[in-house]
Structure 1
Amino acid sequence: MDSNVGSTDKLARIVVGAVAGLLSLATLAGAVAAPTVVAPLAGVVAVLMLGTAFTNRCAVYSLLGISTR
C-alpha cells in the first residue's frame, strides 16, 4: 500500500487522535460526564487516527482511490 496521507491531513489526524484519546481517558477517569460507550469509541478513533497519521497510510483512502499526498 502506497502512502496516501499528506502533511496537512497527517497533522489533522494527530490532533483529532490526541483529542479523542484525551476524551477517552477523561471519560474513564470520571472527569467528563459522558455515557460509558464514549470511552471505548473515542479510544478506537484515537488509535485509528494516530495509526494512520504515523504510517502515512489510510485503508479507506486506498479503497476510494483518494490521496492527500
Structure 2
Amino acid sequence: MKPNMGGIDRGIRLIVAAIAVILYFTGTLTGTLGIIALVVAGIFTLTSIVSFCPLYALFGLNTCPVKQ
C-alpha cells in the first residue's frame, strides 16, 4: 500500500477520533450512536497510523506530499 494521506489529514483524523472516544466515555454519546462513533474512531485511528485510506484510493485522492 502506497501512502495517500498527508500529515495534516492524519492529524485531523486523530483529533476527531480522540473527541469521539472522549464523548463516548463521558456519556455524551450513548447507545447505537456511541458505538458507531467508536467504530469510526477506530477506523480513523487505523488509517492514520498506516497513512492509507481505502476511500482515497477508490476516488483517486492523494493528500500525501510528493517526496523529491
Matched, 1:14 2:9: no
Unmatched runs of 5 consecutive residues or more in structure 1 = none
Identity %: 30
Moved beyond 4 Å, runs of 4+: none
> How many angstroms does 1:35 deviate by?
5.0
Q: What TM-score, normalized to structure 1?
A: 0.83
Structure 1 residues 3-42: aligned runs within 5 Å: 3-27=3-27, 32=28, 34=29, 36-42=31-37
Unmatched runs of 5 consecutive residues or more in structure 2 = none
Q: Relative to structure 1, is the Cα distance of residues 35 and 17 closer, same or farther in structure 2, using a 3 angstrom cutoff? A: closer
**Superposed CA RMSD:** 1.3
Q: How many residues align?
A: 64
